[in-house]
Chain A
């Protein structure tokens, strides 16, 4: 039985059931609020599945992430989980990296192997990040809980020594870390390049980078990631609407209503979960998406044709 409440989307050129869109937005927004990821890597394939053209799905998703991450950032800001200084530095790096990544994609497209490399990057990145986070979280969950007030002294790793020896060290009070100015800038550039190649906001790469390489606490990571994603998606939305006419605002607004509410619930739910619980849930999600993509790469497609524009 179909629920008779449809809305025609003029840019997507299709009619959709509003309740389905609200549910999709709510589900992905919930994950966004819990984990601090924009949800682009989940939402875009889901929109394509319900008949939205791939280019419109990706661009519209950026538009709705603007709203969802605004709502999520606000919620995390109130909880004291946004490190603006770190977020701004990552953002500057992300913009530089994103611009470079767009040029890399242009060169790859000229060489004719862009799609293969995009998909391979997806599977490798998701596989590496997901497996590492899953194993690490599982290990920390199995360990007996130690008294947090008396942390055990650990021998400093080579990575730690290199990071400490970098110039322009500064304090990031909200995150409780002291690292070189270069660290968030360079990591932001690397994530920006990968995000541009993969055509996503980069939240699911940025979160592990902040946790493992910048050693920020998980709850601050989530808020700061949302803050950074907000600005990335503002840029993408305006560019896509202006250059490609692929932003369907009606679809974005309906998704946004669902995802903003979902993000608020997610932020509250995330606060109730421990850091390692959050990490293992995100790792599982990343691995599920990786296996889905791997299956799509290996299984024979139903139709041996694809529209130009989708990955």
Chain B
């Protein structure tokens, strides 16, 4: 009889754990699954939808691949003029980082835990490495984040995630993420983090590829693979266009 009780308790325990695990799962789908950059591309709205545990908040990140960025630091020369001075390289910085949440990030962070902070733009400070000669580069990463924010490539968005009522411990969400027009072709990742009390309780991610299509793809292939021909063609077309416009004006002037 004791053995029977033991197995019953074990089964109940496993069921509870598996139910809790199911409740702490996160699901994510992304629409469109790939971004086509055609001639008339001017940014798109990417929809990330799925489900998270009902007592958690969704944080959705659209993030680009990391690369090395070579830049110049600006400083004062002779206490008077601002000039480009030291060369500086930023390593491990994503090309794009858009972080979305339904609730205010500071509020989520105030609940305790450090995970939310790591998911925010300020969390990139620890991930980005600086390579430069000499000292005095303490504010370099802060300036880098400022530059990327100015370009619209790093952004924190609040209120672009909506929820539906919870079913069996899970609530559905829908995030509308505005993808910038200044997007380079490449591989991107949509990351979902379900956050409870400032800690991530479930994660999911979906890759999204951005690729040039149509005329931009053709032009980029010519410019990078047959660059001398591209330069000569660009010059000839500019010459002919200038002549054509000149002749149009001449004929108009004749009448």
Contact = CB atoms under 8 A, between A and B. Distances in A.
Q: Are A and B part of the same complex?
A: yes
Given A10-B212, A238-B228, A116 B83 contact: yes
A107 interface: no
Interface of B: 37-43, 70-75, 77, 80-84, 87-88, 139-140, 143-144, 146-147, 150-151, 181-184, 212, 216-217, 219-220, 223-224, 227-228, 230-235, 237-239, 241-243, 245-247, 249-250
A1 interface: no
A71 interface: yes
Given A74-B250, A241-B234, A242-B228, 18 more contacts: A8-B216, A11-B223, A15-B41, A51-B182, A66-B238, A67-B238, A67-B241, A68-B242, A70-B246, A116-B77, A116-B81, A241-B227, A241-B228, A242-B231, A264-B246, A305-B72, A306-B84, A307-B71
25 contacts: A7-B40, A8-B42, A15-B181, A67-B245, A68-B242, A69-B242, A70-B239, A71-B246, A71-B249, A74-B250, A78-B250, A116-B81, A237-B235, A238-B231, A242-B228, A243-B227, A250-B219, A257-B241, A257-B245, A260-B246, A302-B150, A303-B143, A304-B143, A307-B72, A308-B72
A245 B184 contact: no
A7 B242 CA distance: 21
Nearest to A15: B181
B182 A15 contact: yes
Given A238-B235, A304-B139, A249 B41 contact: no
B183 to A, nearest CB: 8
A256 B227 contact: no
B81 A308 contact: no
Contacts of B77: 116
Contacts of B233: 249
Nearest to A261: B245
Interface string A102-135: 0000000000000110010000000000000000
B80 A298 contact: yes
Nearest to A53: B182
Nearest to A77: B246
Contacts of B249: 71, 75, 261, 264
Interface string A32-64: 000000000000000000010000000000011
A300 interface: yes
Query: Dominant SS at the B interface?
Result: helix
B71 A308 contact: yes
A238 B231 CA distance: 4
A297 B82 CA distance: 5
Nearest to B147: A303
A64 B151 CA distance: 25
A240 interface: yes
A44 B146 CA distance: 23
Interface string A227-255: 00000001001111111010101101100
B41 to A, nearest CB: 4
B42 A6 contact: yes
Contact of B238 (A256, A264, A305): A256
A160 interface: no
Contacts of A151: none
B39 A8 contact: yes
Contacts of A296: 82
A15 B42 contact: yes
Contacts of B140: 305
B43 A13 contact: no
B246 A304 contact: no
Contacts of A306: 71-72, 74, 84
Contact of B234 (A7, A10, A63, A264): A63
A161 interface: no
B234 A71 contact: no
Nearest to A267: B249
A249 B6 CA distance: 76
Contact of B230 (A14, A249, A264): A249
Nearest to B89: A308
B243 A305 contact: no
A298 B41 contact: no
A13 B246 contact: no
A51 B250 CA distance: 36
A162 interface: no
A247 B249 CA distance: 27
A170 interface: no
Contacts of B241: 67, 253, 256-257, 260
Interface string A211-228: 000000000000000000
Contacts of B239: 66-67, 70, 234
Nearest to B75: A304
